[in-house]
Amino acid sequence: MSRFFSRFFFNLILAGMTSASSLAAFAQAPAKFTANPPASADLNYTINAHQSGLSLNGTSILHWSQDKDHYSISTETRAMLLGKILEAKSEGAIDAYGLAPLTSTEKRLRKAPTTTTFNRETRSITFSASEASYPIKGGEQDRNSVVWQLATMARSAPAKFKTGVSISMMVAGQKDADQWTFKVGKSETIKTALGNLKTIKVSKLVKGNDKGQKIDIWLAPAKEWYPVRIRFAEPDGDFIEQTIVKITPQS
- When divided into structural domains, the chain yields a total of 1
- ∠ CA(89), CA(161), CA(226), 5° rounding? 35
Measured CA to CA, the distance from residue 192 to residue 190 in angstroms comes to: 6
Write the pLDDT tens digit of every residue in 87-137: 999 999 999 999 999 999 998 877 889 999 999 999 999 999 999 999 999
**Residue ranges making up the domain that contains 187:** 2-249
CATH of the domain at 163: 2.40.360
Write the pLDDT tens digit of every residue in 208-231: 666 677 899 999 999 999 999 999
Contact 60, 102 (CB under 8 A): no
DSSP three-state, residue 16: coil
Measured CA to CA, the distance from residue 158 to residue 142 in angstroms comes to: 23
Contact 24, 33 (CB under 8 A): no
